[in-house]
Amino acid sequence: MVGDVLWGGRFDSPLHPVIREFTGSLPFDRRLVWHDLLASLAHARMLRETGILSTEDSDLILSGLSEILSEVETGRLEVAGPDEDVHSWIERTLVERVGEAGKRLHTARSRNDQTGIALRLYVRERLEDILAGVAGLQRALTGQAAEYRDTFLPGYTHLQRGQPVSLAHHLLAHVASLRADAERLRAAHRAGGESPLGAGALAGSSFPIDPVRCAALLGLERTFANSMHAVGDRDYVLDAAYACAMLLVHLSRWADEIVLWCTREFGFIGLDDAVAQGSSSMPQKKNPEAAEILRGKSARAIGNVTALLALVKGLPLTFNSDFQEDKERLFDSLDTADWSLAAAIAIARAVEYRTDVMEAALSGGMLTATELADHLVRRGVPFRTAHHQVGEAVRMAEEAGLELWDLDLETLRSCCPSAGDDVHEALRPDAAVAAHDSPGGPAPRRVLEQLETAEREVGALEAWLDGRPTAPIRQAHLQERLLDEGLE
């Protein structure tokens, strides 16, 4: 062996220092150490069960891996050194502690399936963290929606006032986006639930391995169907990165609204000082910088997806070292999503809704013009004709500086001859909201339905997360289970 690399028997000279540094990944893939150690414990347990490793050797390996895992978890052991990657670091550390037996751990395994299993375990753990953040933000927004069911404001299209809605209905639209994000994140979590252990370098193994047992020990739902695909697959990485990007895009849209609504021009909300910042030169300023930065974070996540797609698009089967470049992009997406959710929750809880300003904005935009058209349609006027007649009424009201509901019946009928005696009742903003009683609409009973659905779905997500303990607890249980089953 040349130097301390795992493949030195084939080579006569040591690796060039520049190439060693260029190809090394330990500075960033060392965050996979827990997951690689867990996967190594499972692999060693399987080797023992199948008789591929002796009881004596497997006892030493399992004990050594457990000791390393415990020291890493408690911070007594630092993942650092001259090693090429975290996988090499684990093997070197194990051999230093248990001797020749440690060199047997890699039996029936390649760094190709080893890398895949560690990364899958890591992705699933981080996605659970992110899903907890999604549930937290949904809780914050649904709580506010429940509080503001009777607050009305303009709904916008093209950033122009369109029709009146309730603030609850508006907030629940963001909850619906987060629901879609949770579904994508859960799907990415499921995609990561396939164990590649046993696929080897690309062609499986000549030993009587049991990949199903490894998957079961690691809490994964299934194992691979094709060994070449297993080591060359990074779809789960792309799925996770895309789910994070979509989440960040939705957070960006919500953050943009925060920025817009706290301007003097809108004034719909105020921000607590704890989530706002000032200006270095303008003492009066109170800037929503956290929301602006949150809006900007989506660019990173989008860029990471683009980079990952470009990375894998032309790679031949099976494993290629290009895959080393997936980790920093993936890690950044996961970190950014997790951190952004924490910031979003803090911002959401610090919003003060100025309901008087919102309700004042119901005037000045002819927001119930569609209600007037619908009123005429119910009285037999074709919609396109009603649309034209109401347009004339709008122009007349604007010229007079009035709202539609301020026009007297005679004036309304000069444009809309079929207007009924009760037309003004239909033109009130609260009546307009109540009239929009179609499924998913802003009518009070429909908003209540949406609230109940959102609370039920968030509760189900939280229950799912409760059934999957946080990473350190899960690792401790798995470590204990592997050792209890593996050692006599």
Catalytic residue among 25, 63, 106, 158: 158
Convert the chain into a string of H (helix), E (strand) and C (coil). Answer: CCCCCCCHHHCCCCCCHHHHHHHCCHHHHHHHHHHHHHHHHHHHHHHHHCCCCCHHHHHHHHHHHHHHHHHHHHCCCCCCCCCCCHHHHHHHHHHHHHHHHHHHCCCCCCHHHHHHHHHHHHHHHHHHHHHHHHHHHHHHHHHHHHHCCCCEEEEEECCEEEEEEEHHHHHHHHHHHHHHHHHHHHHHHHHCCEECCCCCCCCCCCCCCCHHHHHHHCCCCEECCCHHHHHHCCHHHHHHHHHHHHHHHHHHHHHHHHHHHCCCCCCCEEECHHHCECCCCCCCCCECHHHHHHHHHHHHHHHHHHHHHHHHCCCCCCCCHHHHHHHHHHHHHHHHHHHHHHHHHHHHHCEEECHHHHHHCCCCCCCCHHHHHHHHHHCCCCHHHHHHHHHHHHHHHHHHCCCHHHCCHHHHHHHCCCCCCCHHHHHCHHHHHHHCCCCCCCCHHHHHHHHHHHHHHHHHHHHHHHCCCCHHHHHHHHHHHHHHHHCC
Nearest to 482 by CA among 108, 37, 53, 86: 37
Identify whether 13 is part of a domain: yes
**317 falls within a domain:** yes
Catalytic residue list contains 436: no
Report which of 394, 400, 359, 399 is spatially closest to residue 373, judged by C-alpha positions: 394
pLDDT of res. 480 = 61
Angle ∠(143,450,250) on CA atoms, nearest 5: 70
pLDDT of residue 483: 63
Shared domain check, 315 and 388: no
Asked if residue 463 is part of any domain, the answer here is no
Could you tell me if 145 and 175 are in contact, meaning their C-beta atoms sit under 8 angstroms apart? Answer: yes
Q: Report whether 318 contacts 232 (CB < 8 A).
A: yes
Give a yes or no: residue 166 inside a domain: no
* Residue in 85, 157, 80, 140 with CA at minimum distance from that of residue 118: 85
The structural domain count of the chain equals 3
Q: Annotated catalytic, 279?
A: yes
CATH number at residue 414: 1.10.40.30
Confidence at residue 484, expressed as pLDDT on a 0 to 100 scale = 63
Same structural domain, 251 and 191: yes
Residues 296 and 377 in one domain: no
Residue 451: the pLDDT is 98
Which domain, by its residues, includes 71? 8-107+473-486
User: How much is the pLDDT for 32?
Assistant: 96
- Residue 115 is assigned to a structural domain of this protein: no
> Does residue 142 share a domain with residue 289?
yes
113 assigned to some structural domain: no
Q: Is residue 35 part of a domain?
A: yes
Query: Within the chain, which residues score under 70 in pLDDT?
Result: 1-8, 469-488
Q: Given this model, what pLDDT does residue 470 score?
A: 44
Residue-level pLDDT at 488: 43
Closest listed residue to residue 121, CA positions, set 483, 482, 475: 475
For 41-62, the pLDDT digits (tens) are 999 999 999 999 999 999 999 9
Catalytic residue among 16, 54, 279, 477: 279
